[in-house]
Structure 1
Amino acid sequence: MKKLRFMVPCIVVFALILLCSVTYAQNGLRLVYLPGNATLHFVSPEPIQYADISTKELEGDLPIKNVLRLRLRDSVGHFNGGIVTIAGEKFIAQYQVVPGERNSPAQINIEPVDTRPLDIAGVSLSQNQLKRIALDLISRKAAAKVKKTNAFKMKGQVNQVYAFDDYFFLDVSFKNKTNLKYAIEDFRFKVDDQKVTKASNVQSVELRPVFTLLSVPSFAKSYRNVFVLKKLSFPGNKVLKIELSEQQPSGRIITLRLSYQDILSADPLPN
């Protein structure tokens, strides 16, 4: 109990030190210092969708999707400062960048206190949020099969369909019973006619997942992945086709079909 009483004040003091180490300009923006010979890296908790630099004295780029790299232009003799705006999928943050000393931090982590919520039409969950949910689903034991198929000595199955917010999470797995490794050519999702005859005009609508958990080029014996689609509806005479195709020259194609009833029976995400 004594240790706990000692730790609480220490945590409070540490938080106050961090708070005091952050300074703000008169316009209310957090001050970030940039030495003339240094490079600043703004690290975002989610992919950066947009960045704006208010002055031509600075130049920036996105070396990776969640990092904004900032430096002075080579031709700049004197830096007067400027405002940097960074927008992620769910937030916007602004910083006042001013000339600084050599010992100024070279990395700025974008913290919640520096951000404001950003309402972008069509974006309900960020990529990081989708990834966390998909990782949780794939870490669980595969549930009862919703649909299964067998072809070319391979077994495919939809383990479960989950619904959350504006999304469907499809937990899909395949097993290869041959000694020939399966090299993945493509994974396609299409809303197609349930029954196709030679005389019918097939109207197929291809869907693109908004998120795919794993990027696996091939598998020897087993494969499992989680795909996220935006919520959809289609007539009862249509099916959602999940098509796994193999690279040539083998070209094995495995197709799973989900009815609209399967979609309507999607489970809520498990706790």
Structure 2
Amino acid sequence: MKRLLLVAQMLLLSASLWAQQTQGVTVGQVPTIGISRSVSLHFISPEKISYVDLSSAAMIGDLPEKNILRVKVVPDSISSLISTGDAGLVTVVGESFIAQYKLVFLKSSDSGQISTQVNILPSHMSPLDISGISLTHSDFRSNAFRLLNERYKKPISMQSMFGISISVNRIMSLGDFVMLDIGFINDTNLKFDVDEIRFKIEDRKINRSTNVQSVEISPVFQLYPFESFKKSYRNIYVLKKATFPGDKIFNIELSEKQISGRKLNVALRYSDILEADTF
């Protein structure tokens, strides 16, 4: 009896393991899209596309925009596609999802079933769980606009020099990220052509007898391109959270292109970041 019970338990365990191994998406479960020799097929993603796979050499694709995948039939493959009708699978990976589609080659006479545009819908998506990535580009953008629309009393830190002012208006905590609302004012009649804006953790006091340690942090997102400003400008930058001791400062450095080469620095204390508001 015990032997029969043990065999039954082993069979149940084997069935459970088999079910776990076979879990997933089959070709028959993915949406089917009709494609033709004379029509380009465009997949429109709600997020930036980070990866694409075309399983068939009969298809080629490119990314004319960050969120648009264009797929075409390779002319030399048309004869084989006509005989089989199988144009392979398209896999599209965004920042937070993966979606797959089965392509079927159709004759031009089947125009009612040939697609020219496919919107990647939530029902087509399987979520991705990528360690270290908790927010998408769309999340950063929507929260950046929200921050721009909120009022603030006075800047947290500000520095003026050469007729140029740079101010940190607000600091917001967003998950594992920090959002900086930074303003720029030009009181001169000369346009400020931006060379670069850099974010660094540096020594608070520089001792000439020791090496200066500086750690640069690159933004993971900025709302607007930053090339120049005539009078006033405001932008949102998102950085990965970082900790630093009290003898360090978080320095924001704005530099101008040569020949003038004006340079400004505005510093934040660690307490300024610790006291950041939360969305």
- What residue is the counterpart of 1:97 in the other structure? 103
- What residue is the counterpart of 1:31 in the other structure? 32
Deviations 1:70-105 (A, max 9, x none): 111111123122111111000000111102333422
1-side partners of 2:161 and 2:187: how far apart?
Answer: 10
User: Which has the larger Rg?
Assistant: 2
Q: Report if the CA contact (8 A) 1:209-1:229 is conserved.
A: yes
Structure 1's unaligned 5+ residue stretches are 1-24
2-side partners of 1:52 and 1:88: how far apart?
Answer: 12
Deviations 1:89-144 (A, max 9, x none): 00000111102333422010100000010112221101111011101111233442
2-side partners of 1:254 and 1:173: how far apart?
Answer: 13
- What residue is the counterpart of 2:53 in the other structure? 52
Q: Report if the CA contact (8 A) 2:37-2:75 is conserved.
A: no
Write out aligned runs for 1:136-147 (5 A): 136-147=146-157
- What residue is the counterpart of 1:70 in the other structure? 71
SS in 1 for 2:115: coil
Q: Report if the CA contact (8 A) 2:59-2:71 is conserved.
A: yes
Deviations 1:51-80 (A, max 9, x none): 111111111111221111111111112312
Give the AA of the match of 2:186.
N
Deviations 1:148-205 (A, max 9, x none): 1121122221001000100100001011111111111101001100111222210101
Give the AA of the match of 2:39.
A
Q: Report if the CA contact (8 A) 1:143-1:160 is conserved.
A: no
Q: Report if the CA contact (8 A) 1:211-1:229 is conserved.
A: yes
1:233 maps to which of 243, 268, 272: 243
2-side partners of 1:81 and 1:174: how far apart?
Answer: 53
TM-fit CA distance, 1:236 = 0.8
Q: Report if the CA contact (8 A) 1:189-1:208 is conserved.
A: yes
TM-fit CA distance, 1:26 = 6.7
- Give the alignment's TM-score, normalised by structure 2: 0.85
Structure 2's unaligned 5+ residue stretches are 1-25
1:251 maps onto 2:253 in alignment: no
SS in 1 for 2:80: coil
1:183 maps onto 2:184 in alignment: no
SS in 2 for 1:251: coil
State the Cα RMSD in Å. Answer: 1.4
SS in 2 for 1:199: coil
2-side partners of 1:141 and 1:249: how far apart?
Answer: 36
2:92 maps to which of 86, 91, 99: 86
Q: Report if the CA contact (8 A) 1:134-1:213 is conserved.
A: yes
Q: Report if the CA contact (8 A) 2:27-2:102 is conserved.
A: no
Q: Bigger CA drift: 207-216 or 73-82?
A: 73-82
TM-fit CA distance, 1:145 = 1.2
Number of equivalences: 245
- What residue is the counterpart of 1:22 in the other structure? none
Write out aligned runs for 1:123-138 (5 A): 123-138=133-148
